[in-house]
Amino acid sequence: MSEIPDWLVSMVRREPPIKDVVVNGSTPVVSFGDFRKVRVATLGINPSNLEFVDAKGNLLFGKERRLATLDSMKATSLQNLYDSQVEELIEESNRYFDVNPYRWFKTLDDVIKPALGVSYFDGSLCHLDLCQWATEEKWGKLENKIRNILLRDGLPHLRNQLTNSNISLVVVNGRSVWNQINDSGMGKPKNTGTLNFGVNKTSCQMLEMTFEGVRFVGWTANLQSQNGANSKIFLADLSTWLSTIINKDVL
């Protein structure tokens, strides 16, 4: 595995810091798409449990499976993965958007592709997470102590990804992600303006910061779940804003 750096191998072979909150049989998600081949990434808190299980909590398998699981690799534990299994897990993360991507990503792609000319679906955009573990409970339902442990566990991997790749821009979607960025100690984002959306003209802050020499930009509205935030008008407004503030020559 000479082409895979030691830090990435160690990331794959590590066990969850708190096993009983992580989806049983799941694996750490290196990235959604190949982070080593892009200059732009999006950032979330952690993978959805639905990346690994169905609505009833059963592990996905066959054509429905999105990412490597212990079962799919015929492995008993992460720390004892063979080199070939490590390569398999990373390759499945790299090919995520070619197989069975979760619908959550399309809305973000609809904003970023017109603005920056990159897309999840052609391999020019990837997605990273502050925590690489999918949890049984949604992030907001976890105790603060547990969230902090998961953030501390995930931050070294994110830092390695940013410092060992060509990523120069990270796009952040939603106030909750920005809050966890702040809580993780990465830095305090600054407000650079507002956009309003919806019938009641809900205010959306536009935020920016730098971490490990990489520019982070984004908004506080949650495009996938907040009422009115996924309207065509607002998505077009966001895309225009993103295109305006980013010098595409550096991407």
pLDDT at residue number 199: 75
Residues 34 and 90: beta-carbon distance below 8 Å: no
Cα atoms in the 13 Å half-sphere on the side-chain side of 137: 11
CB 172 within 8 A of CB 218: yes
10 burial (CB, 10 Å; 0-12 / 13-18 / 19+) is: middle
For the domain made up of 6-250, give the CATH fold: Uracil-DNA Glycosylase, subunit E (3.40.470)
Residues of 64-81 as b/e, b for ≥16 C-beta within 10 angstroms?
Answer: ebbbbbbebbebeebeeb
Helix or strand run (H / E) with residue 126: strand 125-129
Q: At what angle do helices 232-245 and 104-116 cross, to 10 degrees?
A: 40
Arithmetic mean of pLDDT, 215-227: 93
Calpha distance 243→134 (Å, rounded) = 32
DSSP state letters, 198-217: TTTTEEEEEEEEEETTEEEE
Residue 49 pLDDT > 90:
yes
Query: 175-203: per-residue pLDDT in tens?
Result: 999 999 999 999 999 999 999 988 788 99
**What's the CA gap between 158 and 160, in Å, rounded?**
5
Averaged pLDDT for residues 120-138: 97
Query: Has residue 229 got a pLDDT over 70?
Result: yes
Helices 144-163 + 6-13 axis angle, to 10: 160
Q: Which pLDDT value is given to residue 113?
A: 97
Mean pLDDT over all residues of the chain? 94
Whether the model pTM is above 0.85 = yes
pLDDT band, very low/low/confident/very high, at 3 (cuts 50, 70, 90): confident
| Radius of gyration of the chain from its Cα atoms, rounded to whole angstroms | 18
Say if residues 151 and 129 touch (Cβ distance below 8 Å).
no
How much is the pLDDT for 87?
Answer: 97
Q: What confidence score (pLDDT) does residue 228 get?
A: 84
pLDDT digits (tens, 9 = 90+) for 146-178: 999 999 999 999 999 999 999 999 999 999 999
Name the token pair of 124.
């020019």
Q: Tokens 């999105």 — which residue?
A: 66
| pLDDT tens profile 17-34 | 998 999 999 999 999 999
